[in-house]
Chain A
Amino acid sequence: MKKLFHLATVLALAAGVLSIPVAAQGEPVRVAEFLAECPISHRLPDDPIVLPNLPGASHSHDFFGNHSTDARSTQQSLEGQTGNCNPVADISSYWVPTLYRNNTAIAPTGVTFYYLGEGVNNPAAIQPMPYGLKIVAGNAKATGDADSIARWSCLHAGHVNPSKNFVECPSGTMLETYLDFPQCWNGRDLDSSDHKSHLSYPVAGGCPSTHPVAVPKLRMVLRYPVSGSPAGLRLASGTGQTMHGDFFNVWPRSEMERRVRNCINVVLKCDHAGNHG
């Protein structure tokens, strides 16, 4: 706390001298956030949540994080393996349907998983995600905008309105997609028959009584080296509206707990190592 005060004071003084906004400087940012960046690890027609033990039975997925993820993955098989996330401590598995232009697969070149405290009014009460949690977000069966929560936009082209389907990004910019996972857990189940209903989204800043345990909101942000006409773009699950993401939590418990305590509960933006400024 002392350090925070000291830093804030110095920055405010410096900002005064330089006549620049304080918020632009490096004082601790009051945003409840930690993150993991995990490039593509591998691509397989597998899905250990939706089609367990059935290799080759799924539409194509791009896998991030844990290198070992395949159709037969379990909590036990994933733990102790390595992944490609920054931080290396995160050996969780994340996957999304493969993006194609016509029949050419396109891998995302920027893959960030943010863990956020926003969405609930009391971030101090947020608890770590349970170890071994499996969850699917988004609607792989979406038939249009009405039943989709997908969001497509352009990096460095904010004037292009976001859409639930692919958008046309100007040359020199990148197609990006955001997906927010539900952040209210029923406190009991690591999975459910539809792989969704053990978590729910908050209502009016709070978790509903059926799903009373607030956990960090996982926000997946993918950036693809794609611009120009969206004609010919498709996901392995269909249109852009069918974007969905799967998450299998094998963050070491202590690493997740430390970040929730140091970043989420106290509403501070943390770096990859889970430290704040």
Chain B
Amino acid sequence: MTVLLLAGLLAACQQAPPEPQAPPPAQQNGYGATERAFVELSIATDEQALKLVDLTGRAELRQNRATELVELRKLLDAPFVNNHAGHDMPGMPTDAEIELAATSPDALNQFVHNHLTESLEVLRSAGSAITHPPTAEVVKLMERHRTAELAAG
């Protein structure tokens, strides 16, 4: 009976397709498209940033990025896919920059500074757009980290 009902429903659907739908909007304060995009972008950025800050003698930079990655991965609702690899994203050091930083202390300082200031801009943008409380907490954590790192460095 259930099968018949399902078959009937399917047939009805084929005859009269529903109006096209955008993905349902996230529930208020839910983990929606903006949260998902932010988390995936931030994981991609922090993974790349780790390669850069590894070149510095500043342990807190490495520790902070690693802590953020743990918190960000907890927020994922699907396997992580890096949609931004190789792109020139704000706050994300490029492979060419990391190579140059490995041979030039001045370049290293500049690229670390750029990573911090640019990703702080992204975080401020995220802070005003993200309503999901656990994601918003990670945004605040990342902002605190970068603000302190800039003050220290």
- A237 CA to B129 CA in the complex, in Å? 24
Q: How far is the CB of A123 from chain B (nearest CB, A)?
A: 21
**A-contacting 9-mer, from B32-40, B60-68, B141-149:** B32-40
Q: A53-B34, A54-B38, A55-B125 are in contact. Are A188 and B87 (CB under 8 A)?
A: no
Q: Are A54 and B86 in contact (CB under 8 A)?
A: no
Residues in A with CB closer than 8 Å to B2 are: none
Residues in B with CB closer than 8 Å to A71 are: 125
Q: Are A54 and B18 in contact (CB under 8 A)?
A: no
Q: How far is the CB of A215 from chain B (nearest CB, A)?
A: 11
Residues in B with CB closer than 8 Å to A191 are: 22-23
Q: Are B125 and A52 in contact (CB under 8 A)?
A: no
Residues in A with CB closer than 8 Å to B90 are: 45, 56-59
Q: How far is the CB of A51 from chain B (nearest CB, A)?
A: 5
Residues in A with CB closer than 8 Å to B122 are: 54, 56-57
Q: Are A54 and B87 in contact (CB under 8 A)?
A: no
Contact among A50, A60, A75, A131 with B83 in the assembled complex (CB-CB below 8 Å): A50
Q: Which of B18, B20, B82, B85 counts the most chain A CB atoms within 10 A?
A: B20
Q: Are B82 and A141 in contact (CB under 8 A)?
A: yes
Main secondary structure of the interface of A (DSSP, over half): loop
Q: How far is the CB of B54 from chain A (nearest CB, A)?
A: 23
For window 24-74 of B, CB contacts with A under 8 Å fall at 33-34, 37-38, 41
Q: Are A141 and B83 in contact (CB under 8 A)?
A: yes
- A71 CA to B85 CA in the complex, in Å? 20
Residues in A with CB closer than 8 Å to B37 are: 50-52, 54, 57
Residues in A with CB closer than 8 Å to B137 are: none
Per-residue CB proximity of B71-99 to A under 8 Å, as 1/0?
00000001001111111111000000000
Q: Are B88 and A236 in contact (CB under 8 A)?
A: yes
- Please give the number of chain A residues whose Cβ is less than 8 angstroms from any Cβ of chain B in the complex: 37
For window 49-79 of A, CB contacts with B under 8 Å fall at 50-60, 71, 75
Residues in A with CB closer than 8 Å to B125 are: 54-57, 71
Q: Nearest residue in A to B89 (C-beta to C-beta)?
A: A59
Q: How far is the CB of B123 from chain A (nearest CB, A)?
A: 9
Contact among A54, A59, A132 with B129 in the assembled complex (CB-CB below 8 Å): A54
Q: Are B21 and A54 in contact (CB under 8 A)?
A: no
Beyond the given A54-B126, A194-B81, please list 13 additional residue pairs across the A-B interface where CB-CB is below 8 A.
A51-B37, A52-B37, A57-B122, A58-B89, A60-B88, A132-B22, A188-B18, A189-B23, A191-B22, A193-B78, A236-B87, A242-B86, A242-B87
Chain A residues packing against B (C-beta within 8 Å)? 45, 50-60, 71, 75, 97, 130-134, 140-141, 143, 187-194, 234, 236-239, 242
Chain B residues packing against A (C-beta within 8 Å)? 17-18, 20-23, 33-34, 37-38, 41, 78, 81-90, 121-122, 125-126, 129
